[in-house]
Amino acid sequence: MTRLDPPPTEAAPRPVVRLPVRRGAVTMRIALPPLERFAGPDALALSALALFLTGFGLLMVLSASSVEEAGVAGDPYGDFATQGVAAVLGVGAMLVVATRLRPAALLRLAPIAFAASVGLQVLTATTPLGTSIGGNQNWIRIAGVSVQPSEFVKLSLVLALAAFFQRRPGERLGVKGLLPPLLLSAVAIGAVYLGHDLGTCLILALIAVGGFMFGGVRLPVLGVLGVGAAAVLWGFAQANASRTDRLAAWSAGCTDLLGTCWQTKQAEWALANGGLTGVGIGNSVSKWFWLPEADNDFIAAVIGEETGLLGLAVLIGCFVAVAVVCIRIAGRTSDRFTRAAAGMTLAWLVGQAFANLAVVVGVAPVFGVPLPFVSAGGSSLIATLLLVGVLMALADRTVAASPRHPEHPAGRAFAGRS
C-alpha cells in the first residue's frame, strides 16, 4: 500500500506592516531673472543709494519732527506719515520711469514738462492760489495736497537743457549760440524768484552750469557765463532786506546769537553735542523747540547730534558715491543727452546736498535748501526720485544697448550722420 503525502497547504499571507515614513516638506523653486535684465550696474547702484537715503531720511524725519508735531498739531507722526506717502509714490514713479520710459520719449516730454512746471510756478507765485511760508510763496494746494512746483521746475529744466544739447553740440557753440538754453534757465530762475525763493534759484543756476559743463561748452564761454550769472544772483540777494541782514551777520562772524544767527548757532551746538558717535537716534536736544526747521533745512544738524560725526560721514559718503556714479554714466556714453542729464543730476543732488551741509556747519549763509532724499518735503522727495528714475533709464540704455539702437537718441544722431 502506497503512502500518500498530505496535499500541500497554501501558506497563510503574512501581514504587511507599513512603517511610518517621514516625508519632506514640499518645496518650490522660483527662478528669478538676473538683475542685468532690469538695469545695468550703474543704474542699480544709483537706485540703491537713492533707496538707502530715502529710508534713512524717513527715520530722521520721524525723529526730528515728532516733538514739534506732538506739541503743535497733537500728532507726533504727522510729518512722518506725509513723508512716507511721498516716498511710496516717489519710489513707484522712479521704478516706472526707469523700466518703462524710453529715452526717445524724454525728448518729446521735455518741452511739455518745462512749460507746465513753469506755468504752475508762475501761477503759484503771482496769484492768491499760492501759499506763503516763511516769506516764500512757493506752495499751492492741489486736491487738498500742498505741492511745491519749484521742485518740478528743476526736473523739467534738466530735461529741457539735455534735449537742447542732444541736438546741438555744445563744443561748437559760443555765447550767442547758447542763447536758447540761457533763456530757458532765465525763465526757470525768474519764475521761482517771483516766489522769493533765492535758495532754489541758486540750485537752478547750479543745474544750468552742470548742463553747460557736461554738454561740452568751452571753458572760456563758461567763464563769461559764470561771471554774468554770479552778478545776477548777487543782485537778487541784495534786493531783499532779510537776505542782506543774513549775509551781513554771516560775514561778521555771526555774533548776534539771539537774532539773525540763532538758527546757525543752534545747529553748531547740536553738532558739538553729537561728538563722534552721537547721543542716539531719538535723543536730540536741539529738536525740542530750539532749532527751527529741524526736520527740513537743518535736519543734518539733528543727524549729527544723534549719530555723531560717523553718521554724517556715512551720509556724505553716500552723496560722494552718487557723484561717482553720475560721472561714470557720463563718461561711458557718447550720447549728449545722457551726458548732459548725468551732469545736471550731479549738480542738483550732490551740489544741493553740500550746499545744505555748508549752511548747517556755518560755512555759507542761510539761504534755505533741503537735503535731497532726507529732509521733510514730499514735492522735493518725489522730484528727486523721478530724476533718479530718468537717469536710470538713460544709464540702462547706455549700458545694455548700442548707441546705434533706433530708440536711443544717439542712435538717431548716428543715423543722421551716416
For the chain, what are the domain ranges? 48-398
**Residue 247, pLDDT above cutoff 80:** no
pLDDT band at 401 (very low <50, low <70, confident <90, very high): very low
pLDDT, position 236: 74
pLDDT, position 263: 86
Contact predicate 218/209, CB 8 Å: no
Q: What percent of the chain has pLDDT over 90?
A: 51
pLDDT band at 22 (very low <50, low <70, confident <90, very high): low
Question: For residue 78, what is its C-alpha cell?
Answer: 504727522
Q: Give the separation between CA 374 and CA 359, rounded to whole angstroms.
A: 16
pTM: 0.84
More confident site: 264 or 248: 264
Secondary structure of residue 266 in the 3-state scheme: helix
**Residue 407, pLDDT above cutoff 50:** no
pLDDT, position 94: 95
Question: For residue 181, what is its C-alpha cell?
Answer: 538754453
**Residue 218: which region, alpha, beta or left (left: phi > 0; alpha: psi -120 to 50)?**
beta
* Average pLDDT of the residues in 334-361: 94
pLDDT, position 278: 93
**Residue 130: which region, alpha, beta or left (left: phi > 0; alpha: psi -120 to 50)?**
beta
More confident site: 91 or 362: 91
From residue 404, give the alpha-carbon distance in Å to each of 168, 188, 398.
18, 33, 10
φ and ψ at 11, to 5 degrees?
A: -65, 140
pLDDT band at 164 (very low <50, low <70, confident <90, very high): very high
Q: What's the chain's length in residues?
A: 418
φ and ψ at 239, to 5 degrees?
A: -85, 0
Burial of 373 (0-12, 13-18, 19+ CB in 10 A): buried
